[in-house]
Structure 1
Amino acid sequence: MEPKITVIVPVYKAEQYIHKCIDSILSQTFECFELILINDGTPDKSGKICDEYALKDNRVIVNHKPNGGVSSARNNGIKIAKGEYMLFVDSDDWIEPNTLSTLIDHTLNDENDVIIFGLIKDLFSKKELIKSEYNGFFKKQQISIEDLRNNFIYFLNSVGMHPSWMYLFKTDIIVEQNLYFDSKLVLYEDFDFNLRYLNHSSKITFIPDALYHYNLDASTNQLAKRNKINIVSDISTVCNSLFDFINHTNQNMMLKKNAEQMYSYVLPMYTLCLKNIIIHKKVTKMSEKFEVLKQLHNDENFRLVMLHYANSIRFYKFLFILLNKKLYLFAYLLLLYKFYK
């Protein structure tokens, strides 16, 4: 019998977490699934641990590949998936025992192209749980793709919708539309994939059930991990996907209606990029910082955001002027003054 759900887990340097992750999947109350573990060239014992699980349970499939990043690993899983639906789980996270049964119940009772569910963010410090936070929609709601487009910023702010592991995807849509994660992206690769998938969806169901546990280490600076010379390109790519999704049906009318909300949502993405320049002030060459500022100056989406905010927020007004005059050193000093603590 073909598996109803394919669960895809990219594995890299996950030795201390992988047992809990895999055990949470194999102990599901719903048993008609396959678990694809993608060993992304991990240097630790994670790959060996995956092989040991495959010997014990025939639902486990292990795929070994050279290191290529989380998107590359997920894409390998997509290519070999046999389930009718697809679920992504990160190797340092885990899911509730009723996750698959809950999701299957909703697929049987409702016609939908995607289910978006809740999660629990578990914040740790030195392996001690500090607090847990719920993220998700407060009630079950099924909406059309038109409703989602017209109220997308509301749902983004209410639910998040960035991580792919909040979604149960339909495999047919992924395969028929040739959808894969963009392996060049380090920032917002999940969000970019989700937006492109939603562009081919008709009905979306939100459920309040908190089925996924996202582990977050409070002692790690998540922003500092994003040291990447083409960070501007990553943000611009997902901005293009966001604008394309919201403006999909009517390029002019929809843009005017949602411009204020879209720019207010995109602004923090570029602010993240600006903060990134400062966080790496001791380890990144000044020439590389200037290169990022040049990329910002040349990025059309950043220019649109700045044109929208330059007259109302003094900091962005001055930054925009400095970048337009190619005074990158002064722009960098302005960022130091604004963000460095």
Structure 2
Amino acid sequence: MTEVAVSIIVPVYKAEKYLKKCLDTLVHQTATNYEVLLIDDGSPDNSGKICDSYADKYPRVRVFHQVNQGVAKARELGIKKAQGKYIVWVDADDSADSRLVEDVLKAVNRSHADLVLYGVQYQYQGVVTKEQIPQEEEISAMRRKSVTGQYSTLWRFASLRDFWVGEQVPEEMERSAEDGYMSIRLFIKARHVETIPKVLYYHIGDNPNSIRHTCDGKYYMGNFSIWYYRLRICEENYKDLMNHCASRALSGAVKAYSISLVNHDLPENFIEKLVKAIRDLRRYPIKGRWRDKFLGWCILHNMDIFCVFYARHKISKMKK
């Protein structure tokens, strides 16, 4: 195989229904100087066997199996094993255009970019719901968008592998906020970003095993943590966004705390962080969010019964 320029890394967990379609788009790229790394995160279905079958058939595919540790740890392993100068992330239930790697390398060769943004098409039950095409703009505007969450999914862009060296996602963000955290970190490091104004990635929103369809304390702990992290950044750089971030952080905090009362799925140090943050967030003039403010007041005054009622209602609603 020729020298590897791009490593496509695919974290795999409970994706057997979608995995073959995904991998077919990756092994049939128009470029040749790339590899595909499949990180089986202890998937209990047939995903691991499917990964092995593709590795047996296609020399550019490598598979690594690990005990289930979550997507953050799967990505860490992928980075350690990657040989390419650039990293492309693909979710196991999504797919890529056949020219993804080729077009990324063309963009890199034009400008030696640190990051390459490309268009994404969103689908649900076979219906295209929207498309996002990146616009050419100043890096400062892109950094701002990464903080607001507009650029907060890793499969929207390719990045230098070196940018990942030394990075570690905070424990409280590993469940559901790794993308948002690492997107910010990568955009902060980037000095030049190239854009490809066409769709090269297809995101499928059907998978019931996706993190988006969960309702537990760990999920909302991540949601709170990423918005609290964004708030700290905004205090230094984007003061006009502070109240928005504070509002979202409060919402995530009361949900994480309340649901943990029912599910008992957060360690004590996480609970302490939530209570401390809820107390801190009172200094921001958050508009609206009356339910969140009320639940926050209940948390600070040890009136957990109202939080339990709210959590049971939300969990029941999510299960329907």
Query: Which TM bucket (shorter chain)?
Result: 0.7 to 0.9
Q: How big is the shift at 1:238?
A: 1.9
Equivalents in 2 of 1:38, 1:317: separation in Å? Answer: 41
Partner of 1:7: helix, strand, or coil? strand
Higher helix share: 2
* Aligned twin of 1:328: 304
Deviation string 1:233-280 (CA, Å, 9 cap, x unpaired) is: 433432354245445xxx3xx353432343355455447647x83xxx
**1:95 offset after TM fit, Å?**
0.7
Match of 1:54 in 2: 55
**Does the Cα contact within 8 Å between 1:4 and 1:33 map onto a contact in 2?**
yes
User: 3-state SS of the aligned residue for 1:115?
Assistant: strand
Among 147, 156, 167, the alignment partner of 1:166 is: 156
Match of 1:37 in 2: 38
Q: Which residue in the other structure is 1:214 paired with? A: 203
Contact 1:152 1:246 in 2 (8 A): no
Unaligned runs of 5+ in 2: none
Equivalent position SS for 2:8? strand
CA contact (8 A) 2:247 2:289 kept: no
Contact 1:140 1:208 in 2 (8 A): yes
Residue 179 of structure 2 aligns with which residue? 190
Structure 1 gap segments, 5+ residues each: 278-283
Judged with a 3 Å threshold, the aligned counterparts in structure 2 of structure 1 residues 333 and 290 are, in CA distance, closer, same or farther, namely: farther
Normalized against structure 1, the TM-score is what? 0.77
Show the counterpart of 2:167. Answer: 179
Partner in structure 1 of residue 225 of structure 2: 237
CA distance in 1, matches of 2:69, 2:232: 28
Q: Distance in 2 between matches of 1:41 and 1:340?
A: 28
**Code of the aligned partner of 1:239:** W
Residue 83 of structure 2 aligns to a residue whose secondary structure is coil
Q: Distance in 1 between matches of 2:287 and 2:136?
A: 39
State the SS of the aligned residue for 1:28: coil
C-alpha displacement of 1:114: 1.2
Q: 1:241 to 1:91 in 2, by over 3 A?
A: same
- Residues 39 and 64 of structure 2 are in contact (CA less than 8 Å); yes or no, is this contact kept in structure 1? yes
Contact 1:69 1:183 in 2 (8 A): no
Q: Distance in 2 between matches of 1:317 and 1:45?
A: 45
Question: 1:152-194 CA deviation, whole Å, 9 max, x = no partner?
Answer: 566x3xxx3222111201012222xx12445662121211122
Give how far 1:224 is off. Answer: 5.3
Structure 1 partner of 2:264: 288
What letter corresponds to residue 193 of structure 1 in structure 2?
M
> Are 1:50 and 1:62, in contact at CA under 8 Å, matched by a contact in 2?
yes
Determine the structure 2 residue equivalent to 1:102. 103
Amino acid at match of 1:260: N
Residues 147 and 184 in structure 2, CA contact (< 8 A), matched pair in contact too: no
Equivalent residue runs for 1:218-297 within 5 Å = 225-228=214-217, 230-231=218-219, 233-246=221-234, 251=236, 254=237, 256-266=239-249, 269-270=252-253, 273=256, 277=259, 286=262, 288=264, 295=271
Query: What aligned pairs does 1:149-160 form with structure 2 within 5 A after superposition?
Result: 149-150=143-144, 156=149, 160=150
For 2:195 and 2:61, the matched residues in 1 are separated by 29
Change in CA separation of 1:320 and 1:212 when aligned onto 2, cut-off 3 Å:
same
CA distance 1:335–1:46, change in 2 (3 Å): closer
Superposition RMSD in Å: 3.4
CA-to-aligned-CA distance 1:77-110 (integer Å, 9 cap, x gap): 1001110100111111111111112222221223
In 1, Cα distance between equivalents of 2:146 and 2:46: 42
Counterparts of 1:186 and 1:99 in 2: how far apart (Å)?
A: 28
Structure 1 distance, partners of 2:99, 2:202, is 13
Hey, what's the Cα distance between the residues in 2 that align with 1:205 and 1:261?
29
